[in-house]
Structure 1
Amino acid sequence: MECRLCLGSAPAESSVSIFGDPHPERLEQRIRTCCQIFVKRGDGLPDTVCLSCKTNLELLISFRKACFRNNESSRLRLDDCLKIETEEVLLEDLIWNDEPSQSTIHRKNSEICLKSFPIESELILHKRSLLGENLFQCDICFKSFLKKYRLVIHLRTHTGEKPYKCEICLKSFSRKSGLVSHSKLHTGIKLHKCDICLKSFCERKRLVRHLRTHTGEKPYKCEICLKSFIDKYNLVSHEKLHTGIKLHKCDICLKSFFERKRLVRHLRTHTGEKPYKCEICLKSFIDKYNLVSHEKLHTGIKPHKCEICLKSFTQKSDLVSHSKLHTGIKPHKCEICLKSFYEIKRLVRHLRTHTGEKPYKCEICLKSFSRKSDLVSHSKLHTGIKLHKCDICLKSFL
């Protein structure tokens, strides 16, 4: 067995699997934190380490944690000393001078960027931010923070705790700022309007983000794969893919996810819950993204146009699928009849014609279908709603 770190050879009984470590702090996570090496299952590289390297990693982790603790203690003692010194100088200034002394002013100004602060503790925190000295570290993902309250907020992403609740709709939030932003939705006041499409928003930051959909600007870039994003939230979600760590696991099918929100969405596939409903046709959806995509069908607006045949589409994903038709490449082939397809999902659907599988079942009459679109069309028969009317004979259709 070859060691991933030192490339030394060792017998199987003296090697440790990177992905089989039962310790809560997974071995691949330690390698990423200490060595800045991203280990991924199935990447073609050795997936074991020798006992010597594993021991060195454990020693390094222990040493790293001890350094953080000692550095934090030293900083706290320094804060106490500076606080006492500042109070004495200020008291002396009040007694003997009408203006604060130059030494006091010097202590309140940053020597790096010359920014001024009203109290010494804010200056100390500002210097730490410039020097990258983050004293508070998450024991789960090893992410560091400048202030303790930021660590407390971050830990809620692991625990799922949401202490701030809306008094109107009872929706919960992990941050108070999230609750404040949400509360503006209930007022119905949207002061910030887009000059291009006239869409209005409750907050200016949402308008700024929306404007990027018109300009195509993507200022947030991943340092690993250089992929760009329209906002910081999407970048943070994307970066979790590179870590390979999936902390949120489904208790029903044991499937794991990078983010808790993806787990919550997945659980609805087991419970059948569809909390997002279209106000026009009353169709329900498992998440807000699918609802927004569906609502575009009612507007008739198709902003995504093919540059080759000029055909327009409501959703960008439909344009991407359509573009594959112009390449002429069909990489997905049926092993039974050798028919080829542009996309894997079309091959999966085709295979049901051979197997006879019909996974989509009507909950009312229990009739089964091989395609989801057929089930959707069939379900309209039970609603009795006919939205499409002929202008000549006034006959209605589903």
Structure 2
Amino acid sequence: MECRLCLGSAPAESSVSIFGGPHPERLVKRIRTCFQIYVKRGDGLPDTVCLSCKTNLESLISFRKACFRSNETSQPRLDDSLKIKTEEVLLEDLIWDDEPSLPTIHRKSSEICSKPFPSESELVLHTREKPYKCDICLKTYTTKCSLVLHKKLHTGIKPHKCEVCLKSFSRKSHVELHQKLHTGIKPYKCNICLLSFLRKYNLVSHLRSHTGEKPFKCEICLKSFTLKSSLVSHENLHTGLKPHKCEVCLKSFTRKSDLEVHKGLHTGIKPYKCDICFQSFYRKYHLVLHLKSHTGEKPYKCEICLKSFTQKHSLVTHQENMHNAIKPHKCEVCLKSFSRKYHLEAHQILHTGIKPHKCDTCLKSYTLKYTLTKHIRTHCKK
């Protein structure tokens, strides 16, 4: 027999079953209260304790009971101005089988109440269970309060408004955090590159860019991510869930950021502009990639032929077309093969003679978009 607490071996006659006896839940509660160990029937772990650990557990409970009762006697003597915050203690966790049930004692006020022992739903913070699910986007939460706050995102109700820019928020904590943007204060600084951040979790996420840590892993395809929000968005790809819908054309998207970019197609607004050639973009990372075309930076290098590229997807395309012999997509007209389906579709336009991509400066048309992009750079140089 193996002890659940010390993992030591003991004969059957020297072991006590955690779930045995007339009141098995009492021993479970004592272990949980003293050691924060949550024992469940059938969890695959030992379900017995040795007599030595049981004796130590009884001594610990007796000592805690004595401390709580002495504290109850001495608590009124403390000055109220100290404002000492103490936790709620449940003495009914610590009772013996032959003792009567005791009411709950609050150490701070020494008042007796009839609150029962917390249920399993109140212990989800320790078990990491999320029993409350949103009916709209199926996102789960630990507490009911968090679910109620989340549902405000779907109703569009934003009662908290910033007094500076009048922007509205669904939560009071969000508007308080937003107001720090107007002060310019960023208290969290990276010790490596000295970048500052408004929120602590932004700093924690940034530090992973230095360490390369990706703690959030998809259980389906085992892909890892730096941010938990990135994992949640990625999991929607497997479920097919697209909770973010455009109010104009009703098109749905997996990520909220994709929806915001899509809205720019209806408004025509491209907020990210290049300071060199004044070309505008819907997304910030598109501008970052574009700026590399001016600097000549090519950080992505092919390990086979050592050719460098500005963008990562260009490197992947190069490796598949030049070094990968498998090209399953074949053109029915000229029998040319391609590694990707969308490369075949772009190639087939050459046979139709259609040139959908037109230059806004000289009105010259091109079959492929990247050819038009290359042409636009000639105007920038002039």
Q: Tell me, in whole angstroms, the C-alpha distance in 2 between the residues paired with 1:182 and 1:319.
A: 42
Q: Deviation of residue 148 (structure 1)?
A: 3.9
- C-alpha contact (below 8 Å) 1:109/1:117 kept by paired residues: no
Aligned to 2:149: 153
| Pairing partner for 2:271 from 243, 268, 275 | 275
Q: Tell me, in whole angstroms, the C-alpha distance in 1 between the residues paired with 2:239 and 2:210.
A: 32
Aligned to 1:107: 89
1:376 alignment partner, SS class: helix
Q: 5 Å matches for 1:131-210?
A: 131=127, 136-160=132-156, 174=170, 176-177=173-174, 180=177, 183-184=180-181, 187=184, 192-193=189-190, 195=192, 198=193, 200-203=195-198, 204-210=200-206
Q: Deviation of residue 316 (structure 1)?
A: 2.2
| Pairing partner for 2:227 from 231, 254, 258 | 231
Q: Deviation of residue 334 (structure 1)?
A: 0.8
Structure 1 residues 138, 356: closer, same or farther in 2, change over 3 A? same
C-alpha offsets along residues 331-350 of structure 1, whole Å, 9 cap, x if unaligned? 22111111112333332221
Is residue 352 of structure 1 aligned with residue 331 of structure 2?
A: no
2:135 alignment partner, SS class: coil
Aligned to 2:298: 302
Is residue 338 of structure 1 aligned with residue 320 of structure 2?
A: no
Structure 1 residues 322, 315: closer, same or farther in 2, change over 3 A? same
Q: Deviation of residue 118 (structure 1)?
A: 7.0
Structure 1 residues 296, 286: closer, same or farther in 2, change over 3 A? same
Structure 1 residues 186, 310: closer, same or farther in 2, change over 3 A? farther
Aligned to 1:10: none
Letter in 1 for 2:264: R
Letter in 2 for 1:342: S
- C-alpha contact (below 8 Å) 2:188/2:203 kept by paired residues: no
| Pairing partner for 1:290 from 282, 286, 289 | 286
Q: Deviation of residue 218 (structure 1)?
A: 1.0
Is residue 313 of structure 1 aligned with residue 292 of structure 2?
A: no
Aligned to 2:77: 98
C-alpha offsets along residues 260-288 of structure 1, whole Å, 9 cap, x if unaligned? 33223223234432122223432211122
Q: Tell me, in whole angstroms, the C-alpha distance in 2 between the residues paired with 1:385 and 1:190.
A: 41
Q: Deviation of residue 95 (structure 1)?
A: 10
Q: Unaligned stretches of 5+ in structure 1?
A: 1-88, 387-397
Q: Tell me, in whole angstroms, the C-alpha distance in 1 between the residues paired with 2:87 and 2:248.
A: 61
Q: TM-score, normalised by structure 1?
A: 0.57
Q: TM-score, normalised by structure 2?
A: 0.60
- Higher relative CO (Cα under 8 Å, sequence separation at least 6) belongs to 1
Aligned to 1:23: none
- C-alpha contact (below 8 Å) 1:293/1:315 kept by paired residues: yes
Structure with greater Cα Rg: 2
Letter in 2 for 1:217: E
Q: Unaligned stretches of 5+ in structure 2?
A: 1-67, 80-85, 95-105
| Pairing partner for 1:217 from 213, 216, 219 | 213
Q: Tell me, in whole angstroms, the C-alpha distance in 1 between the residues paired with 2:182 and 2:329.
A: 46
- C-alpha contact (below 8 Å) 2:358/2:366 kept by paired residues: yes
Structure 1 residues 110, 379: closer, same or farther in 2, change over 3 A? farther
